[in-house]
Amino acid sequence: MDGAKVGKYEHFLNDVLRVDLQKEVANRDSICEKIAIYSQLGQTIDCITKVDTTDGLLTQVNIGSNFYVQAHVPDPSRIYVDVGLGLYVELTLTEAKKVAEKKIEQKNKELEASSKRSVKIKAQIKFVVEALKELHTIQPSCD
């Protein structure tokens, strides 16, 4: 009977809890990447607003695999922002800054929720490990 219990706990630990934890860590990493992207957008907008853009803006654009080409933006007062689901919207710099701030706020809430889920899963893992230790120390009684 104890062998069956140990097997069930080990299966639950390895095939459920640890997999869930890996998924949650990957989700948290994805959220952190999105926060970094929107933070970079906010910083870029700040830089654009600080420089004189009457003659346009000269910049470099990544065309893939870290290859950059020079680009001239004639009117940098409006930019396209990914607002989700692959939808890009043309916004003024002020509007884009507000969107970036809202997205960062939203992603921080998601990050907090993800961290809480990770803590719960880690606590469950610890509980199951302790239960396994206890089951391994129980010696079967010989009658």
pLDDT tens digits along 14-49: 999 999 999 999 999 999 999 999 999 999 999 999
Mean pLDDT over each residue of the chain, to the nearest integer: 91
In this structure, is residue 69 part of a structural domain?
Answer: no
**Strand (E) or helix (H) holding 44:** helix 18-50
Q: Which residues contact 92 (CB under 8 A, 6 or more apart)?
A: 77, 78
What domain range is 13 assigned to?
2-50+77-137
> Mean of the pLDDT values across residues 93-122?
97
> Mean of the pLDDT values across residues 104-110?
98
CATH number of the CATH domain containing 86? 1.10.287.370
In this structure, is residue 130 part of a structural domain?
Answer: yes
In this structure, is residue 106 part of a structural domain?
Answer: yes
Distance (Å) of CA 73 to CA 48, 53, 70, 76, 140? 11, 9, 10, 6, 78
Distance (Å) of CA 63 to CA 67, 85, 142? 6, 22, 73
In this structure, is residue 44 part of a structural domain?
Answer: yes
The reported pLDDT for the residue numbered 6 is 83
In this structure, is residue 57 part of a structural domain?
Answer: no
In this structure, is residue 64 part of a structural domain?
Answer: no
Which of 31-35, 55-59, 67-71, 92-96 has the least mean pLDDT? 55-59
What is the residue-wise DSSP string for 79-110? EEEE-STT-EEEEEHHHHHHHHHHHHHHHHHH
The reported pLDDT for the residue numbered 131 is 87
The reported pLDDT for the residue numbered 116 is 98
The reported pLDDT for the residue numbered 139 is 55
Measured from the Cβ of residue 38, the count of other Cβ atoms closer than 10 Å reads 21
The reported pLDDT for the residue numbered 2 is 65
The percentage of the chain sitting over the pLDDT mark of 90, rounded to a whole number, equals 75
In this structure, is residue 65 part of a structural domain?
Answer: no
> Mean of the pLDDT values across residues 63-67?
94
Q: How many domains does the chain have?
A: 1
In this structure, is residue 129 part of a structural domain?
Answer: yes
